[in-house]
Each structure stands twice: as structure tokens, then as C-alpha cells.
């Protein structure tokens, strides 16, 4: 395994982290760190990411870090966002930089810009009202637009993206931030009308992380939306297609008739 790059996955016991582990395990030497023992790793560490000294050993000798470590609750309090999520991410980036890690893939969130969904045409799309809209021409939300977080969780993610930019500029770390959409489950469709636009399937999330990890060395910083190839997606993924080769395969329109009947049944 000496010729394989060494990848550390933080928050390694989580659902999406386990999907990514399955995707990468044949091509990389993987290790994990989490508050509890993560399954599927020969090398793992049990530690709290807010304790910088406790996590240092996990980063030694690693080429790439994929960061999932955070409290994912959408209704997260400011105290938890600040004391846990922001603290854990900054510690992780700092220790990665000090350990000589080359690339850091950060799990960001669409909640950074969720307040745009109060505006048209996104508000109508989220309700499933498409009259007068052309999915090929309506303006998409892109990563050059100002952040509009929906609460402490989104604020924490925005702070982490800013921290990533700092470690690129001041310490030479390569940082790729992935603003994930609504994470789906294998073989399952949308659970509400909004998710026809926002769903990210397991197959597509695996591809997204694989592309980010293997992105060209000269890509020093990037922020990309992660969403499946949904007809009504309103996040612009053209930069992810161009810069890291991400080409999602799944489209929630394939579930349109069945799941809408389920919505009515509920």
C-alpha cells in the first residue's frame, strides 16, 4: 500500500463518510477519526475534534483529509455551532496544515445560501410550481454570490469556508469545499417538493468526493455545489464539471409520479 495516497476521514462513523469510504477504499489508504469507533477502518482514532492535542497523531503522514466532523442538526444553536462545529473545523485545518497535508476536502452545505430560496424563481421551484419556468434558462445560484445562511449551522459552514481560504493563502494548503444538497438514501426518491431540485444521491455523492480528492494539484481553492443531475436543480454546478470533472448521473424526475402520490397519501 506504499504507493497509495493516505487519506484521513474525520467524522468517519457518519453515514456520508461511510459512503465515501466505500468509494475510495480500493484506491487509497484510509484511516478514520470520530468520537466513536468507525467501522471499516484498519487504522482509526477515537477523539474529540475540539481537542487539538488529542487529534494531532491522526494527521501525521497523511496526504489528504476529508472532513465530515460536525453536528449536522439544521436547528443547531449558536453555542453548539461556535463551540463544536467551528472549533472542530479550525482545529482540523490547523493540524492538517502543520502535519504537511496537501489537500483538504471540506464538507460544506447548501444552508450557506438557503435564504436565496425565499426569492423567485427558487421559492416557486421549492413548492413544485414550475409554470412559466424553463429549467434550461432560469438563473442558478452560484458560488460567486454572497452567502445568505439560514441560521447558526449555515453561519458555521460559511466561517469554515473562510478559514479554508485563509489556510490556502497563508499556509499553502489546497482546500476544496463541497456544498452538499439534500442527502438521499439508496434507491429512495424525494420526500417533499423541494427535494426534486435539491436531492443528492449516494451514487452522485460518492463521485463528487472521488473527483475532489483526485482534483488537479494546481487547484488550490474551490467551492462547489453538490447536487444530482435534477431537472429543476437551482445550484450551478458548471464549475464543478469544469474544474474537477463532476458529472452527476441521477435525476429526481425519475421518481416524479410515485413519490407525489406518496405526498398525497400522507
Query: What sections of 29-151 are H helices per DSSP?
Result: 52-59, 78-80, 87-99, 122-127
SS3 helix, strand, coil % of the chain, rounded to 5?
40, 15, 40
Q: Are strands 64-67 and 199-200 parallel, antiparallel or unpaired?
A: unpaired
Instruction: Report how far residue 9's alpha carbon sits from residue 200's, in angstroms, rounded to the nearest whole number.
Output: 20
DSSP 149-179: -SSHHHHHHHHHHHHHHHHHHHH--EEEEEE
How many Å separate Cα 258 from the centre of its chain?
Answer: 28
pLDDT at 177: 98
Q: What is the pLDDT of residues 91-115, one digit of tens each?
A: 999 999 999 999 999 999 999 999 9
Q: Are 6 and 29 in contact (CB under 8 A)?
A: yes
Instruction: Report how far residue 161's alpha carbon sits from residue 182's, in angstroms, rounded to the nearest whole number.
Output: 19
Mean of the per-residue pLDDT values of the chain = 95
Cis before 121 (ω within 30) = yes
How many Å separate Cα 4 from the centre of its chain?
Answer: 24
Q: What is the mean pLDDT of residues 249-258?
A: 92
Q: What is the pLDDT of residues 154-210, one digit of tens each?
A: 999 999 999 999 999 999 999 999 999 999 998 889 999 999 999 999 999 999 999
Q: What is the pLDDT of residues 215-238, one digit of tens each?
A: 999 999 999 999 999 999 999 999
pLDDT at 3: 85
Q: Are 167 and 104 in contact (CB under 8 A)?
A: yes
pTM of the model: 0.95
With cell 452527476, the residue in question is 248
Q: What is the mean pLDDT of residues 63-67?
A: 98
User: Residue 26 above 90 pLDDT?
Assistant: yes
pLDDT at 77: 95
pLDDT at 42: 92
Q: What is the mean pLDDT of residues 77-81?
A: 95
Provide the percentage of residues in the chain whose pLDDT is more than 90. 92
User: Residue 11 above 90 pLDDT?
Assistant: yes
pLDDT at 254: 95
User: Residue 263 above 60 pLDDT?
Assistant: no
Q: What is the mean pLDDT of residues 242-252?
A: 98
Contacts of 146 (CB under 8 A, 6+ apart): none
Q: Are 219 and 34 in contact (CB under 8 A)?
A: no
Local confidence band at 261 (pLDDT 50, 70, 90 cut-offs): low
With cell 420526500, the residue in question is 191
Domain ranges of the chain: 6-265
Q: Is 3.40.50.720 the CATH number for 6-265?
A: yes
Amino acid at each position: 500500500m506504499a504507493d497509495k495516497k493516505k487519506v484521513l476521514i474525520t467524522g468517519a462513523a457518519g453515514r456520508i463518510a461511510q459512503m465515501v469510504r466505500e468509494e475510495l477504499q480500493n484506491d487509497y489508504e484510509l484511516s478514520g477519526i470520530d468520537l466513536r469507533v468507525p467501522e471499516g477502518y484498519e487504522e482509526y482514532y477515537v477523539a474529540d475534534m475540539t481537542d487539538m492535542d488529542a487529534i494531532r497523531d491522526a494527521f501525521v503522514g497523511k496526504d489528504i483529509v476529508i472532513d465530515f466532523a460536525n453536528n449536522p442538526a439544521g436547528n443547531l444553536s449558536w453555542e453548539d455551532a461556535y463551540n463544536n462545529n467551528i472549533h472542530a473545523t479550525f482545529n482540523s485545518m490547523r493540524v492538517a496544515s502543520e502535519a504537511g497535508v496537501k489537500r483538504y476536502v471540506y464538507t460544506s452545505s447548501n444552508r450557506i445560501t438557503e435564504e436565496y430560496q425565499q426569492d423567485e424563481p427558487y421559492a416557486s421551484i421549492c413548492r413544485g410550481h414550475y409554470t412559466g419556468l424553463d429549467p434550461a434558462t432560469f438563473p442558478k445560484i452560484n458560488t460567486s454570490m454572497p452567502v445568505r445562511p439560514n441560521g447558526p449551522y449555515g453561519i458555521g459552514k460559511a466561517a469554515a469556508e473562510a478559514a479554508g481560504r485563509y489556510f490556502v493563502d497563508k499556509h499553502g494548503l489546497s482546500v476544496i469545499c463541497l456544498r452538499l444538497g439534500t442527502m438521499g438514501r439508496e434507491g429512495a426518491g424525494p420526500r417533499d417538493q423541494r427535494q426534486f431540485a435539491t436531492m443528492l444521491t449516494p451514487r452522485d455523492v460518492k463521485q463528487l468526493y472521488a473527483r475532489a480528492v483526485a482534483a488537479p494539484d494546481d487547484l488550490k481553492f474551490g467551492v462547489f455545489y453538490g447536487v444530482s443531475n435534477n431537472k429543476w436543480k437551482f445550484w450551478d454546478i458548471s464549475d464543478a464539471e469544469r474544474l474537477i470533472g463532476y458529472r452527476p448521473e441521477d435525476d429526481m424526475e425519475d421518481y416524479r409520479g410515485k413519490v407525489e402520490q406518496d405526498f398525497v397519501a400522507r
